[in-house]
Amino acid sequence: MSNHQNTPAEAEIDLREELQKYLRYWPWFLACIIAAVAACFVVLKFMTPVYPTTATILIKEEDKNPTSGLEAFTELGMLGGMNTNSIENEIGILRSYRLMENVVKELDLNVRYFSEGFFQDKELYGTSPVTAQVLSLDREKFMDLEDTGASSFRIELKNDNSLEVFRLSDERKYKADFNEPVNLGFATVSFRRNEHSADLEGALFLSLNLPEKVADAYQEELQVQLVEKNASLIELQLQDPVREKARDILDQLVREYNREAIEDKNLLALNTADFINERLGIINEELATVETGKVEFKENNKLTDLQAESQVFLTSATENKKRQQELATQIELADAMLEFMQNGSSSGLLPANLGIDENMANEEINSYNELILERNRILKGSTEKNPVIITLNEQIAELKQNIHHSLTRLRANLKIAQDNLNRETALIGSKIAAVPVKEMEYRNIERQQQIKESLYLFLLQKREDNSLSLAATAPKAKIVDHARSSDAPVSPKPKIMYLAALILGMLVPFLIIYLKNLLNNKVRSRHDLETDLKNFPILGELPKITKNNPELIQRNDRSMLAEAFRILLHNLQYLVKSSSKTNGTCIMVTSSIKGEGKTFTSFNLAITLAHSGKSVILLGADLRNPQLQRFIPESTGYRGISDYLVDPELGLEELIKPSGQHESFDILASGSIPPNPTELLNRPAMKTLIEKLEDLYDYVIIDSAPTMPVVDSFLITEHVDLNLYVVRANYTDRKLLDFVAHAKEEGKLENIGLILNGLDTSEFGYGNKYGYTYGEETVPLWKRLTRKAAFWSL
């Protein structure tokens, strides 16, 4: 057995048929698309467009040149030579709630103004004719009234230049004057005129909120990200319906960030300045004491030019004295630093770069200050329990201990060097033994004076450097691109929404039709019969009859129904011609279940045969549920087949009645409803009756009972020449077709021809598919759409 494969032509036909299932409903597609697009248009009118606003900043790198005079401040958290963690810290600071709250308070973003619009209210940012300043706010009352909408108000300007404020939740009215405080229950507000905006026309709406909640909302909307992975360029983005407000928020955020960064960088300089000023005061007092002692010594000993007298002796000691001064200065600085560390705060900054000649100590002091500043910055947005703070505290404590050890070790080394130098000086002093003791005392006094003067001048220079650094502090973030907004909204996007509406408008009817077809297990078209009953001839297709069309064919009828029965009669002839009978032809019309159109088909087939010049008689063989009275109401009183089968001696001329439709068309009614119809139909008299009628008429049409509920039709089929099996579109279950196939296989029904009844106009024949309707006038498009709409129900 070879597998059948579809050729390209067959595949094309299948695709065309599938498309035809949906194309016939094109008005529904068009209506849904129009409705979806219209709904999208209305939705867009009610949606507030949201615009993206971006700003770009550069975190500037720090000058590391130690000769710049600012080396004491290079480790204050600036991002020069930053690694990834440092950049992430700066991004975290920019996204912090604290900065956003400062922005909200600075711009008064917790107070919003709206004007009423046709589709939606418009926010008046910076253009409101009336502005409100919140003088005080009761947080607890606000939280209690927030859920009731009590924070929204309507403002109206009266002729007396006063204001009436209505609370929207309960229309409570407040009388207010410009520049005068008014109590709104949970807040005290002062209203002012905005001289830079137009006058108030109509109502103005005011909304108050807590700055904390507004900051939370904008913090969630703010996006901060690196422009490139290995760069220090940071992009800030904010989406908001009011572009001017979004630009102000981003610009103010950068200003707040720079302000705090400058404060952090100045913190070390301020602490250093305090330390230098304190040491200058102490040195100044000590220097004054030494100079006073020098004057008194000279006066008491009447000394004038000691330099000339001791020049020879001091030549060899010049270098030693210079070295002694340097060592004394270093020891003094080391003592001062140790005293500062002992008496100062455990979390305070240490003076940096005071001139201590110990690189390791200076590096440790700089690292210590850097950790102090980093901890203080993180503490602004965290607590002492933060693991990062705990780690930093441990590092600070360890580093402070290392600094103390380094300074102690440095002081010990300096003392050793000083002792060695003193012994060397003592050796030289033996050579100047002749110099009076007073001269030596004078030199000691002078030496102390020089030490104090050099230290004093050194601290004055450092103070000037520190002041210069404090005055020259630059912003940390350089603005590369000021905040700018896009003209195209990020949402809603009209093109995308219209495209989605178009797709939805097509998808909804498509899905409905698809699900309808998927769930519909009824016979819908000729294709279903050809698929399920491949070896059964289909003799005709009958259109669905609407309320405005007659069910029976009339004389000279050129309707679609009449043409369908003419085609049926034409196809019928091929099966009838194959018979060798010389008398009339007997045709039985049956179906699977009730309601498929047996009587309708039988009656119109008989009328069509009569119109073609044939003599026809229609038998009502459904003895259980007679149906001929549907078209001939008076037939309910006729005697008929059941009476004849009970008493075959009855004359047929008494039982046969004219149909009233055509002179060549008679009927033989069912007669009285018997208690045993199956036994009557199984009698030989039934065969005799059919044979007699075949001798009298060209065609004998039998309207029989349905085959599935009862066996009556199977008792008649052996006496007929042709079985017409009626299947009703959108009524007959496709599973019932298996019963027809099994009946033929078992020999219960032979010589069967199928008739598909009740087809919708969209499924019927070639006239609809190819635009040819025999005998009908051309109808305008709008009328055809109106007619077809009755069939296109989903």
**Residue 576 tokens, joined:** 């009838």
- The tens digit of pLDDT for each residue in 63-90 reads 544 433 344 333 333 334 344 447 888 8
Residue predicted with more confidence, 289 or 667: 667
pLDDT tier at 310 (50, 70, 90 boundaries)? low
Overall size of the chain counted in residues: 794
pLDDT at 309 over 80: no
Pairwise CA distance, residues 448 & 609, whole Å: 147
- State the distance between the two ends of the chain, measured CA to CA, in whole angstroms: 42
Least confident of 38-47, 257-266, 424-433: 424-433
Question: How many C-beta atoms lie closer than 10 Å to residue 286's C-beta?
Answer: 17
**Confidence label for 765 from pLDDT (cuts 50, 70 and 90):** low
CATH topology of domain 526-789: Rossmann fold (3.40.50)
Q: Tokens for 467?
A: 């002041």
SS3 sequence, 484-545? EECCCCCECCHHHHHHHHHHHHHHHHHHHHHHHHHHCCECCCHHHHHHHCCCCCEEEEEECC
Tokens 């033989």 found at: 668
- Residue whose token pair is 């075959």: 648
Sheet holding 51-59, edge to edge: 223-226, 233-240, 51-59, 477-485
Domain ranges, ordered by start, for the chain: 10-50+493-519, 51-259, 313-434, 526-789
Q: Is 631 helix (H, G, I), strand (E, B) or coil?
A: coil
- Tell me the DSSP string of 415-445: HHHHHHHHHHHHHHHHHTTTS-HHHHHHHHH
CA distance 191 to 162: 10
Structure confidence at residue 754 (pLDDT): 93
Q: Which pLDDT value is given to residue 656?
A: 92
d(CA 416, CA 422): 10
Instruction: State how far the alpha carbon of 217 is from the alpha carbons of 110, 488, 575, 604, in Å.
Output: 11, 23, 83, 77
pLDDT of residue 260: 83
Around Cβ 124, how many Cβ atoms within 10 Å?
19
Cα dihedral value 27, 28, 31, 32, nearest 10: -150
Question: What residue type is 464 in one-letter code?
Answer: E
Residue 669 has phi, psi (to 5 degrees) of: -70, 170
Question: Rg of the chain over CA atoms, in angstroms?
Answer: 55
Euclidean distance between CA atoms 704 and 625, whole angstroms: 10
For 259, the token pair is 């302000």
What tokens were used for 544? 């669905």
Cα separations in angstroms, 664 against 657, 658, 660, 696: 11, 8, 10, 11
Candidate from 125-129, 255-259, 535-539, 669-673 with smallest mean pLDDT: 125-129
**608 pLDDT higher than 90:** yes
Tokens of 242: 């009011």
3-state secondary structure of 250: helix
CA dihedral of residues 397, 402, 404, 409 (deg, nearest 10): 170
Mean of pLDDT over the chain: 80
Q: Is the pLDDT of residue 581 over 80?
A: no
Which amino acid, 260?
A: E
pLDDT digits (tens, 9 = 90+) for 660-675: 888 999 999 998 888 8
